[in-house]
Amino acid sequence: MPTISARLPTEEKAELDDVAALLAEDRSTTIRKALAEGLETLRIRVAVERYQSGDVSAAEAAHIADLSVAEWLDVARERNLTTQLSLSDLELDADTAAEL
């Protein structure tokens, strides 16, 4: 497993140590979990922004978020997302859903 390093302000290091203690885990495990959850959140946020602006279809947003189309549609429904999709976008989404 590769090693990376990062500099943290004192307050963030203290927060990291507090969360690690809460989870009864070492600092490295806590960092890996926080990074995984954070990356998932960021991917979904970018997908939501691009979908909402009409830049991507539901299938493309699902890909960005690293979700299945069905999972993406759940996210979109939960967040009440709307967008202006073209007929070709809808056809692409329907074709992708049919492949599932």
Domain ranges within the chain, ordered by starting residue? 10-99
Q: What's this model's pTM, rounded to 2 decimal places?
A: 0.74
Give Cα separations from 44 to 76, 82, 91 (angstroms). 10, 15, 23
32-75, pLDDT tens digit by residue?
Answer: 999 999 999 999 999 999 999 989 988 899 999 999 988 998 99
Cα 38 from Cα 82, distance rounded (Å): 25
Burial class (CB in 10 A: 0-12, 13-18, 19+), 34: middle
